[in-house]
Amino acid sequence: MNKQGKIIILSGPSGVGKGTINKELAQDKSLNLVQSISMTTRAPRPGEVDGVNYFFVDKETFKDAIQHNELIEHAEFIDNYYGTPRKTVYDKIAKGENVILEIEVVGATQVLKKEKPENLVSIFLMPPSLKALEQRLRKRGTEKEEIIKQRLDKALLEIPLKHKYQYIIEIDSVENAVAKVKEVLAKENTLSIDSSNSKYFKLKEKVEQIVSEQYEFFVNNWKENVQKVGGETIDASFDFKNYLVELLTDKTYAHVLASEDLNILDNSEFIETIVEHFMIDVNFFSIEQKEFKK
């Protein structure tokens, strides 16, 4: 039996570069990824082919697909509909293929709500700034001024939703962003390569070393001190060191994906600085950390 594939959500504001990143990923055959083909009612752009770039349909056909639950997500924008055919995606997932959904934020939100988290890898692509996003939209030269303004207004509502995604990646350059997406896919073990090659796991080893060398006293006395200072009751079986290592690793990893060059993870001095920053930032008495308690 094949290992079930995953749905890889590649989303972000219109004009951020989803299509560019997706094309770069598609060219790398070693990634063993398959593309989802969306359905839309908009007119084809120059060079686009029906059944390759999109399934181009009329509005009546699209609405019929919605009514019969044939789409896993759909959205309407500027008088056009966009959606992802359900059967196409699930057939590929069942065969063990990982399907990339290059979709708008509205559609991605639907998938995040309806699908099981273990079946998803969700990535939000962030522009470096709204000004940079506007420049990208104008550079495309495919839309009128009114449409550009609508897309920018929409982006202001979409960007705050980024924290609903597992990963946030800033597109400071196409090369760096593509490298980060590949890194995430390696970490999530969606590729044919050994996931242990992911920078995430190497980062975790470094963080564990830092915690062992610099925060050993804190770790060893944490339970007793939290009980004394905060009055918390701690489960005796709770592995605080492992929790702390994973917490600091995840925070450092997320920070780099969102705002740094991926290669900075090879810089031990940088990692020590960031770990120290997040150590100070952690609320060790948070009532949300229910795993601390009995």
Strands of 54-56's sheet in order across: 54-56, 38-40, 80-85, 71-77
Q: Does residue 193 surpass a pLDDT of 60?
A: no
Q: Does residue 254 surpass a pLDDT of 90?
A: yes
What does the pLDDT look like over 201-240, one tens digit per residue?
A: 999 999 999 999 998 888 888 777 766 765 666 677 778 8
Q: How far is CA 168 from CA 17, 91, 176, 270, in A?
A: 14, 28, 13, 20
The more confidently predicted of residues 290 and 171 is 171
Residue 292's nearest CA partner among 245, 222, 228, 229 is 222
Tell me if residue 220 falls in helix, strand or coil.
helix
Count of positions (residues) in the chain: 294
Report the b/e string of 123-159 with b at 16+ CB within 10 A. Answer: bbbbbeeeebbbebbeeeeebeeeebeebbebbeebb
What does the pLDDT look like over 159-184, one tens digit per residue?
A: 999 999 999 999 888 999 999 999 99
Alpha helical stretches, state H, 159-239: 174-187, 199-214, 216-230
**pLDDT at site 293:** 47
Tell me if residue 31 falls in helix, strand or coil.
helix
Residue 16's nearest CA partner among 209, 215, 168, 235 is 168
Sign of CA dihedral 175, 179, 182, 188: negative
Q: pLDDT grade, residue 294 (50/70/90)?
A: very low
Q: How far apart are CA 282 and CA 124, in angstroms?
A: 24
Percentage, residues of the chain above pLDDT 70: 90
Residue 204 in tokens: 């975790």
Q: How far apart are CA 205 and CA 198, in angstroms?
A: 12
Q: pLDDT grade, residue 39 (50/70/90)?
A: very high
The more confidently predicted of residues 191 and 51 is 51
Q: How far apart are CA 84 and CA 285, in angstroms?
A: 44
Query: What is the average pLDDT across 264-293?
Result: 76
Domains of the chain, each with CATH number or no CATH = 7-195 (3.40.50.300), 198-292 (no CATH)
Sign of CA dihedral 51, 19, 39, 26: positive
Residue 253's nearest CA partner among 239, 269, 274, 273 is 274
- Contacting residues for 148 by C-beta, under 8 A, at least 6 apart: 134, 137, 138
Q: Which residue matches tokens 């290669």?
A: 263
**pLDDT at site 4:** 82
DSSP annotation of 13: S
**pLDDT at site 285:** 57
Q: Does residue 287 surpass a pLDDT of 50?
A: no
Q: pLDDT grade, residue 78 (50/70/90)?
A: confident
Alpha helical stretches, state H, 115-173: 130-140, 145-158
Q: How far apart are CA 121 and CA 98, in angstroms?
A: 10
**pLDDT at site 60:** 96
The answer to whether residues 124 and 170 touch, using CB atoms and an 8 Å cutoff, is no
Q: What angle do CA 30, 33, 39 make, to 5 degrees?
A: 150
